Amino acid sequence: MRKKVIAGNWKMNLGVAESVALIDALSPLVADAGNVEIVVCPSPQALYPVGLKLSGSRIKLGAQNLYPVAKGAYTGEVSPTMIKEVGCTYCILGHSERREYFKESDEFVNAKIKSCIEHQITPIICVGESLAEREAGITFERVGTQVKGAFKDIPAEQAATLVIAYEPIWAIGTGKTATDEQAQEVHAFIRAELVKLYGAAVAGEIPILYGGSVKADNIDGLMAKPDIDGALVGGASLKADGFARIVKFEI
């Protein structure tokens, strides 16, 4: 059975003190959550102090990005070894904000995924279409290209350990969630693409999270769908009580 994952992407929103206050508030609220992997992804300067707070906790630490080289002259970048040193076991990759604002290509995302695999970090690989692409009827084509690009030259045994997040760009930070059916339709498509690449057994192991205005009041319907294995949560992960309710989804 593939794992359920609920991950919070705090983006560039919280300083160190705010990040520590959020993890202090969240930790007791999710201590008794069911069988779900809980991940928080603070901004880089807050990874170390939040990681210290998480020592011995069930909550896992994730970074929001990395540069796919262990060390070197890459001013302003953060390496896989650096995020690992402060306790990260997850890393968000290929978020649409990075693809759009920093022009990250499928090839670069693929290089970052390989770097994560090399350093035993689980990537949460984001894919998703824009509103224009959905309206042009090319959602599957766009998402299929991103999935194939992400998994290029990744062997099956490693592919089985990765996590995907389907995040329709038109639903991110807009308050406009995909309906449960719209999300399930694309998740099923992604699963079918993974079956083509790796066969049913491996494809059945890979959690596919939904992201895009997930909140306490829409998580239950999404999680009831067969191919939705969790959520990548932006805005609603910044409030401890709301995020705790998402973590404690009911199906």
Which residues of this protein are in contact with ligand PEP, per CB under 6 A? 9, 167, 172-173, 211-214, 232-236
Q: C-beta of 81: minimal distance to ligand PEP in Å?
A: 25
Instruction: Compute the half-sphere exposure of residue 247: CA atoms within 13 Å on the CB side of its CA.
Output: 27
What is the nearest approach in angstroms of ligand PEP to the Cβ of residue 207?
A: 15
Q: In the complex with ligand PEP, which residue's Cβ is closer, 62 or 212?
A: 212
State the Cα–Cα distance between residues 41 and 39, nearest whole angstrom: 7
User: Which amino acid appears at position 144 of this protein?
Assistant: G
CB neighbour list of residue 200: distance below 8 Å, 6 or more residues apart = none
Please tell me which residue in 37, 104, 129, 167 is annotated as part of the active site: 167
Tell me whether residue 187 is one of the annotated catalytic residues.
no
**Length of the chain, please?**
251
Residue 198 CA to residue 159 CA, distance in Å, equals: 8
Least CB distance to ligand PEP at residue 86 (A): 21
The token duo for 152 is: 């290029």
C-alpha dihedral (100, 69, 39, 150), degrees to nearest 10: 50
* Contact (Cβ atoms closer than 8 angstroms) between residue 213 and residue 235: yes
Task: Using the minimum distance from each CB to ligand PEP, give the nearer residue, 37 or 167.
Answer: 167
What string of DSSP letters covers 68-93?
A: SSSSSS-TT---HHHHHHTTEEEEEE
Considering the complex, state which of residue 80 and residue 212 has its C-beta at the smaller distance from ligand PEP. Answer: 212
Do residues 143 and 189 touch, judged by C-beta distance below 8 A? yes
Report the residue number, 9 or 79, with the smaller CB distance to ligand PEP. 9
Closest residue to ligand PEP, Cβ-based?
A: 234
Examine the residue annotation and report whether 95 is marked as an active-site residue of this protein. Answer: yes
Residue closer to ligand PEP (CB basis): 108 or 243: 243
CB 174, min distance to ligand PEP, A: 7
Closest CB 68 distance from ligand PEP, rounded Å:
21
Q: Which of the residues are catalytic?
A: 95, 167
